[in-house]
Structure 1
């Protein structure tokens, strides 16, 4: 029988419990990287032993969070339909979908945790990365994106603006305001 830590059920009670733990961990660790598994358990409204059953060590939880965020980015990219419509509209849809991932991505990009933990799989090119690259190439070909801005620059601008938008929300701005400013700045930053 597979242990809860090594399997990743997506439905049923085990799947819901695992999801609750991962979501709570993203929220708790985004606010305090030193938070304990007991803090995560309290936020997930489960017992500490339940968290340990799914994630015996903190490193197991962090590894699972990294994989979970990659899965969320992949799903967000699919939802954004990056191949459909004008490139700028597709980039804005992708920005909006990624913005909705909020704390999960904020956690991954937090420098204080990144200095102590290496997120596995984040250095590998994913289908989401390739979809964004194709979108940028299409935007260049359509004349929608400034051809003086290369792929890497536009990718970095997108992620930087998302981070600033998430910070705006953390600092008391509304979600709507943060997303609106993010997409407006993105549009102005990459257009020719």
Structure 2
């Protein structure tokens, strides 16, 4: 029996490449044509049309793609492990890794309703903040909904710094993580100061 796994993976990669190119092009020029997006993706216009027959389908596809990336970031953060603060900072790291994609939402961050936190990923962040409140690692003066909004606000600043070349990508990402660490951490919590992936052993933030 011939496996269909490889062709499906190729289609998935092509779709992801189209989404990434569309986000990049439309972030600079919201009026860019389908042809310009196809050129940026390195494919023929007909290829783009096979996946997205019109602009509405493309926009819908982008929204679904970005939401999936957000949810993947929270899942990949291993939120059940360690303290609430450690889990939250892993979510931040995963979101920073997806900064270019999540930037699609960040462009309109000022218009987002952070009181309507009903998607799976939002609930994941809220859960780790609540756990951090309970285990004493996250500052209790900040509500979970405030922390979700603050997270997106600082990530938005990081996105525009990178997008407009104000700082290097590495420097901007480090500043963003440092700011969110200072904001979230309880005054009594100890957190590592190393870059992501360089935490010292037996870091108290990991509980």
TM-score normalized by the length of structure 1? 0.84
1:176 lines up with 2:173 in the alignment: no
**Corresponding position of 2:203:** none
For structure 2, the residue ranges without an aligned partner over 5 or more in a row are: 1-5, 187-207
Larger CA Rg, structure 1 vs 2: 2
Q: Counterparts in 2 of 1:62-81, with a 5 A limit?
A: 62-81=59-78
**Corresponding position of 2:190:** none
**Corresponding position of 2:139:** 146
Separation in 2, partners of 1:149, 1:10: 48
Separation in 1, partners of 2:76, 2:32: 32
**Corresponding position of 2:80:** 83
Match of 1:57 among 54, 58, 62: 54
Q: How many residues align?
A: 177
- Please state whether the residue corresponding to 1:144 is helix, strand or coil: coil
- Please state whether the residue corresponding to 1:85 is helix, strand or coil: coil
Query: For residues 73-120 of structure 1, what are the alpha-carbon distances to aligned partners after superposition, in whole Å with 9 as ceiling and x for unaligned?
Result: 1111111111211222211111111111122211123139x98xx9xx
Contact 1:30/1:103 (CA < 8 Å) preserved in 2?
no
1:160 lines up with 2:153 in the alignment: yes
Tell me: CA distance 1:186–1:176, structure 2 relative to 1, closer, same or farther (3 Å): same
TM-score normalized by the length of structure 2? 0.78
Separation in 2, partners of 1:133, 1:176: 27
Separation in 1, partners of 2:62, 2:135: 37
Match of 1:189 among 172, 183, 187: 183
Tell me: CA distance 1:28–1:132, structure 2 relative to 1, closer, same or farther (3 Å): same
1:100 lines up with 2:94 in the alignment: no
**Corresponding position of 1:33:** 30
Once the two structures are TM-superposed, the CA of residue 67 in structure 1 deviates from its matched residue by 0.5
1:130 lines up with 2:96 in the alignment: no
- Please state whether the residue corresponding to 2:30 is helix, strand or coil: coil
- Please state whether the residue corresponding to 2:43 is helix, strand or coil: coil
Query: For residues 140-192 of structure 1, what are the alpha-carbon distances to aligned partners after superposition, in whole Å with 9 as ceiling and x for unaligned?
Result: 11111221111111111111111111111122211211111111111111223
